[in-house]
Structure 1
């Protein structure tokens, strides 16, 4: 089914409520520039998408393309649709968002995103829209005894308690011994990079740097669990959930309030 989606910037609270209803993770990135609502022909809100950057905007883009800077790209933070929409709707939503960027953010050359392999996502929607693939890398997250997924940057209070436990002044990573006492695990999994060029110059840049369509599939997903410092074993896909979020509670409630 073909749609003629409309894209508008919407109040943050409206988007947050939609995302926390339909997205697998209610946790939001902090550096969001645009809060976009996607509407069908009857002006029903059927999808939402945020544009901004990750935790290290400049480092992210210059690690991939040293000649570029933060102003040259936007990153998809959150993207989801009403679950009742047909299967190909997200691809059409991306098309509408790209058109919006080209009209209202002509200064941007690249649209960047990552598929969260830790959550079992390889990026099929980006593949269907012909994003270019830029490889994968392992990243670490933590998992509480209730299944809550915790980003390392959200571990501040836990690290304070961990340092006391170990008799240290400060720690940058939770220790296996302390995690065992609180029922937390350190999980390592893949993230998959995707980039969409918004002009001819960007298209050439991706081609010259070997961004391609050799897309990953589900067989490429991998997970490892830390046993002790420096030692991991391969495991099946972890069953993350946010039903009883505690570590991320402040982030979730703060975005709803604001």
Structure 2
């Protein structure tokens, strides 16, 4: 339990159904990661104020090895924040996010053997990671990512959710497999492809972790990204893009996105 400005915050493990219901009510994305190990709730005075899921992305081992190629780290060396959201009353509370993350770091030290807590700020949603910056996470840089958007409904379609569309696209082109939807197929389906940035953050949980992180000069002295570092582009042809303003998405539509509940518990 942590104290900050008279607020006592406690972390408890939650039943999956309760955590998922909270996330679906308050998070902008209804799709959960597939590999979730922990569903955790942030409580104050017995009230559930927030939920975080911890697990891994689609390539758990490759993620940590790519960040720290000189070290023999494994999946168990880190956990990734999959979803984190708070009650609307806490979203504008300047210190609550930092308090939640510091409480989470303490819980991880006491309950896991993890070296690092890793996370991504979704630049496509206009987020550059202010809550992680306030909690003194280390910034690791950014990379370009892509999502699809249904033009009729505004639904955000994660590439991970586009499996059936990719099969249709491959069948139409007479190929065995496709990794990305073609521009022609998207145009016929009323779908657009949008590029943006993802911002990477990491928090060392142990002294050993800080030593590992400090041994990589490319991660030293990086300035935190700000709103000016957000970037958005819409595909207009194969490998052709134009810069656009920040796109909006309809979080209540799930025509293409499955209602994933992240049932996998171990990797």
TM-score for both structures, normalised by structure 2: 0.90
Question: How far did 1:255 drift?
Answer: 6.0
Q: Tell me if structure 1 keeps the 8 A contact 2:19–2:41.
A: yes
Of 141-150 and 12-21, the range deviating more from structure 2: 141-150
Q: Tell me if structure 2 keeps the 8 A contact 1:6–1:96.
A: yes
- Output one character per residue of 1:212-258: Cα deviation in whole Å (capped at 9) or x when no partner: 4510000000011111111111111110122221111442xx569xx
Name the counterpart of 2:54: 51
Name the counterpart of 1:142: 148
Name the counterpart of 1:5: 9
Name the counterpart of 1:18: 22
Instruction: Tell me, yes or no, if structure 1 residue 89 matches structure 2 residue 96.
Output: yes
The secondary structure found in structure 1 opposite 2:203 is: strand
Which residue of 207, 226, 229 maps to 1:220? 229
Q: Tell me if structure 1 keeps the 8 A contact 2:149–2:192.
A: yes
Which residue of 30, 37, 54 maps to 1:33? 37
The secondary structure found in structure 2 opposite 1:61 is: helix
Superposition RMSD on alpha carbons, in Å? Answer: 1.5
Question: For residues 74 and 175 of structure 2, what CA distance do their matches in structure 1 show?
Answer: 38
Question: For residues 6 and 29 of structure 2, what CA distance do their matches in structure 1 show?
Answer: 28
TM-score for both structures, normalised by structure 1: 0.93
The secondary structure found in structure 2 opposite 1:96 is: helix
Question: For residues 142 and 178 of structure 1, what CA distance do their matches in structure 2 show?
Answer: 12
Question: For residues 130 and 171 of structure 1, what CA distance do their matches in structure 2 show?
Answer: 40
- Structure 1: 5+ residue stretches without partners: none
Instruction: Tell me, yes or no, if structure 1 residue 206 matches structure 2 residue 235.
Output: no
Question: For residues 180 and 71 of structure 1, what CA distance do their matches in structure 2 show?
Answer: 42
Question: For residues 259 and 201 of structure 2, what CA distance do their matches in structure 1 show?
Answer: 30
Name the counterpart of 1:195: 202
Instruction: Tell me, yes or no, if structure 1 residue 111 matches structure 2 residue 133.
Output: no
- Output one character per residue of 1:177-225: Cα deviation in whole Å (capped at 9) or x when no partner: 1100111011111000000011111112222214345100000000111
The secondary structure found in structure 2 opposite 1:13 is: helix
Q: Tell me if structure 1 keeps the 8 A contact 2:42–2:50.
A: yes
C-alpha distance 129-56 of structure 1, shift in aligned 2 (>3 A) = same
The secondary structure found in structure 2 opposite 1:92 is: helix
